[in-house]
Amino acid sequence: MSSIIIGIDAVKNSIRNVPNFPKEGIQFKDVSTAFKDQQIFKYIVTELRNKYIACGITKVVGIESRGFILGSILAGELEAGFVPIRKPGKLPSETFVQSYDLEYGSDSLEIHTDALDGDDVVLIHDDLLATGGTVNAAVDLVRKFGVTKIYVNFFVELDFLCGRERIAKDINVWSLIHY
Protein backbone atom coordinates (compact mmCIF):
# COMPACT_ATOMS: atom_id res chain seq x y z
CA MET A 1 0.00 0.00 0.00
CA SER A 2 1.43 3.40 -0.95
CA SER A 3 1.45 6.19 1.59
CA ILE A 4 1.94 9.92 1.11
CA ILE A 5 3.19 12.45 3.61
CA ILE A 6 0.29 14.64 4.66
CA GLY A 7 0.92 18.28 5.51
CA ILE A 8 -1.10 21.42 5.92
CA ASP A 9 -1.00 22.19 2.17
CA ALA A 10 -2.48 18.78 1.34
CA VAL A 11 -5.30 19.42 3.82
CA LYS A 12 -5.97 22.86 2.34
CA ASN A 13 -5.93 21.48 -1.21
CA SER A 14 -8.45 18.80 -0.22
CA ILE A 15 -11.14 21.34 0.73
CA ARG A 16 -13.50 21.94 -2.20
CA ASN A 17 -14.50 25.54 -3.02
CA VAL A 18 -18.08 25.77 -4.31
CA PRO A 19 -18.87 29.20 -5.79
CA ASN A 20 -22.33 30.73 -5.24
CA PHE A 21 -23.55 28.17 -2.66
CA PRO A 22 -25.96 28.42 -0.89
CA LYS A 23 -26.48 31.78 -2.59
CA GLU A 24 -24.84 34.13 -5.10
CA GLY A 25 -21.52 35.58 -3.96
CA ILE A 26 -20.67 32.97 -1.29
CA GLN A 27 -17.51 30.90 -1.80
CA PHE A 28 -18.57 27.81 0.14
CA LYS A 29 -15.75 25.74 1.67
CA ASP A 30 -16.87 22.12 1.40
CA VAL A 31 -14.99 20.21 4.12
CA SER A 32 -16.52 16.86 3.13
CA THR A 33 -13.85 16.44 0.46
CA ALA A 34 -11.18 16.67 3.17
CA PHE A 35 -12.98 14.38 5.62
CA LYS A 36 -13.56 11.59 3.09
CA ASP A 37 -9.81 10.98 2.74
CA GLN A 38 -8.68 8.64 5.54
CA GLN A 39 -5.10 9.95 5.74
CA ILE A 40 -6.13 13.60 5.63
CA PHE A 41 -8.88 13.04 8.19
CA LYS A 42 -6.42 11.30 10.52
CA TYR A 43 -3.92 14.16 10.12
CA ILE A 44 -6.60 16.75 11.00
CA VAL A 45 -7.72 14.83 14.08
CA THR A 46 -4.12 14.41 15.26
CA GLU A 47 -3.33 18.12 14.84
CA LEU A 48 -6.43 19.15 16.81
CA ARG A 49 -5.77 16.56 19.52
CA ASN A 50 -2.15 17.70 19.93
CA LYS A 51 -3.23 21.34 20.18
CA TYR A 52 -5.66 20.75 23.06
CA ILE A 53 -4.47 17.61 24.87
CA ALA A 54 -2.75 19.60 27.65
CA CYS A 55 -5.57 22.12 28.17
CA GLY A 56 -7.65 20.10 30.62
CA ILE A 57 -10.77 20.27 28.43
CA THR A 58 -13.76 18.64 30.17
CA LYS A 59 -16.43 19.33 27.52
CA VAL A 60 -16.27 19.81 23.76
CA VAL A 61 -19.24 21.85 22.53
CA GLY A 62 -19.98 21.21 18.83
CA ILE A 63 -22.09 23.58 16.73
CA GLU A 64 -24.74 21.96 14.46
CA SER A 65 -24.18 20.42 12.11
CA ARG A 66 -20.70 20.26 10.64
CA GLY A 67 -19.23 21.09 14.06
CA PHE A 68 -20.48 17.72 15.27
CA ILE A 69 -18.09 15.77 13.02
CA LEU A 70 -14.68 16.79 14.37
CA GLY A 71 -16.18 17.98 17.68
CA SER A 72 -17.33 14.55 18.77
CA ILE A 73 -14.11 12.86 17.64
CA LEU A 74 -12.11 15.51 19.48
CA ALA A 75 -14.15 14.87 22.64
CA GLY A 76 -13.17 11.19 22.41
CA GLU A 77 -9.50 12.04 21.80
CA LEU A 78 -9.43 14.47 24.75
CA GLU A 79 -11.41 12.14 27.03
CA ALA A 80 -13.97 14.93 27.43
CA GLY A 81 -17.76 14.91 27.19
CA PHE A 82 -19.54 16.11 24.04
CA VAL A 83 -22.33 18.72 24.13
CA PRO A 84 -24.36 19.73 21.03
CA ILE A 85 -25.43 23.30 20.29
CA ARG A 86 -28.38 22.93 17.93
CA LYS A 87 -30.69 24.90 15.69
CA PRO A 88 -34.12 25.86 17.13
CA GLY A 89 -36.59 23.14 18.07
CA LYS A 90 -34.18 20.20 17.88
CA LEU A 91 -33.24 19.75 21.54
CA PRO A 92 -35.95 17.91 23.51
CA SER A 93 -35.51 19.35 27.01
CA GLU A 94 -35.30 22.87 28.49
CA THR A 95 -32.90 25.15 26.58
CA PHE A 96 -31.10 28.47 26.63
CA VAL A 97 -31.59 30.33 23.31
CA GLN A 98 -29.33 32.89 21.59
CA SER A 99 -29.96 34.73 18.30
CA TYR A 100 -27.15 35.56 15.85
CA ASP A 101 -26.36 36.87 12.34
CA LEU A 102 -24.89 34.64 9.61
CA GLU A 103 -22.77 35.45 6.57
CA TYR A 104 -26.02 34.58 4.76
CA GLY A 105 -29.06 35.36 6.94
CA SER A 106 -29.90 35.13 10.65
CA ASP A 107 -30.85 32.32 13.01
CA SER A 108 -30.71 31.22 16.65
CA LEU A 109 -28.97 28.46 18.57
CA GLU A 110 -29.92 26.41 21.63
CA ILE A 111 -28.20 24.39 24.35
CA HIS A 112 -29.75 22.24 27.08
CA THR A 113 -29.83 24.13 30.40
CA ASP A 114 -28.18 21.17 32.17
CA ALA A 115 -25.43 20.63 29.55
CA LEU A 116 -22.52 22.34 31.38
CA ASP A 117 -21.29 23.27 34.86
CA GLY A 118 -19.52 26.50 35.84
CA ASP A 119 -16.25 24.64 36.50
CA ASP A 120 -16.13 22.96 33.08
CA VAL A 121 -13.21 23.77 30.79
CA VAL A 122 -14.95 24.13 27.43
CA LEU A 123 -13.68 23.80 23.87
CA ILE A 124 -16.22 25.15 21.37
CA HIS A 125 -15.70 23.67 17.90
CA ASP A 126 -17.16 24.54 14.51
CA ASP A 127 -16.04 23.64 11.01
CA LEU A 128 -15.56 27.23 9.83
CA LEU A 129 -15.23 30.82 11.07
CA ALA A 130 -16.70 33.41 8.69
CA THR A 131 -18.13 36.61 10.23
CA GLY A 132 -18.10 35.22 13.79
CA GLY A 133 -21.84 35.58 14.48
CA THR A 134 -22.39 31.86 15.02
CA VAL A 135 -19.50 31.32 17.39
CA ASN A 136 -20.30 34.46 19.37
CA ALA A 137 -23.81 33.07 19.98
CA ALA A 138 -22.21 29.78 21.10
CA VAL A 139 -19.86 31.66 23.47
CA ASP A 140 -22.84 33.58 24.92
CA LEU A 141 -24.67 30.27 25.50
CA VAL A 142 -21.66 28.72 27.25
CA ARG A 143 -21.20 31.81 29.45
CA LYS A 144 -24.79 31.41 30.71
CA PHE A 145 -23.51 28.47 32.82
CA GLY A 146 -20.84 30.61 34.50
CA VAL A 147 -18.06 28.87 32.55
CA THR A 148 -14.90 31.02 32.54
CA LYS A 149 -12.33 28.79 30.78
CA ILE A 150 -13.38 28.76 27.11
CA TYR A 151 -11.33 27.76 24.07
CA VAL A 152 -12.61 28.14 20.51
CA ASN A 153 -11.46 26.04 17.56
CA PHE A 154 -12.25 25.97 13.85
CA PHE A 155 -11.08 23.62 11.16
CA VAL A 156 -11.15 26.53 8.66
CA GLU A 157 -10.96 30.31 9.19
CA LEU A 158 -11.76 32.90 6.50
CA ASP A 159 -9.25 35.56 7.62
CA PHE A 160 -10.54 38.20 5.18
CA LEU A 161 -13.92 38.34 6.98
CA CYS A 162 -12.17 39.26 10.28
CA GLY A 163 -14.55 37.11 12.38
CA ARG A 164 -11.77 36.60 14.94
CA GLU A 165 -11.88 40.31 15.83
CA ARG A 166 -15.49 39.88 17.01
CA ILE A 167 -14.59 37.13 19.50
CA ALA A 168 -13.95 38.30 23.08
CA LYS A 169 -10.25 38.84 23.80
CA ASP A 170 -10.23 36.54 26.86
CA ILE A 171 -10.94 33.54 24.64
CA ASN A 172 -8.17 31.46 23.07
CA VAL A 173 -8.98 31.05 19.35
CA TRP A 174 -7.15 28.66 17.01
CA SER A 175 -7.82 27.40 13.46
CA LEU A 176 -5.95 24.74 11.51
CA ILE A 177 -6.53 26.13 7.98
CA HIS A 178 -6.63 29.80 6.92
CA TYR A 179 -7.88 31.44 3.70
Nearer to ligand AMP, 51 or 131 (CB): 131
66 binds ligand AMP (CB under 6 A): yes
Stretch in the footprint of ligand AMP (CB under 6 A) among 4-12, 78-86, 91-99, 123-131: 123-131
Spacing of C-alpha 63 from chain mean position: 6
Nearer to ligand AMP, 58 or 130 (CB): 130
8 Å CB contact between 81 and 117: no
130 binds ligand AMP (CB under 6 A): yes
- Phi and psi at 67, nearest 5°, equal -70, -10
Contacting residue, 126, 141, 142, 153, with ligand AMP by CB under 6 A: 126
Stretch in the footprint of ligand AMP (CB under 6 A) among 44-52, 68-76, 110-118, 126-134: 126-134
Can you give the binding site for ligand AMP, defined by CB under 6 A?
Answer: 26-29, 63, 66, 102-103, 126-134, 163
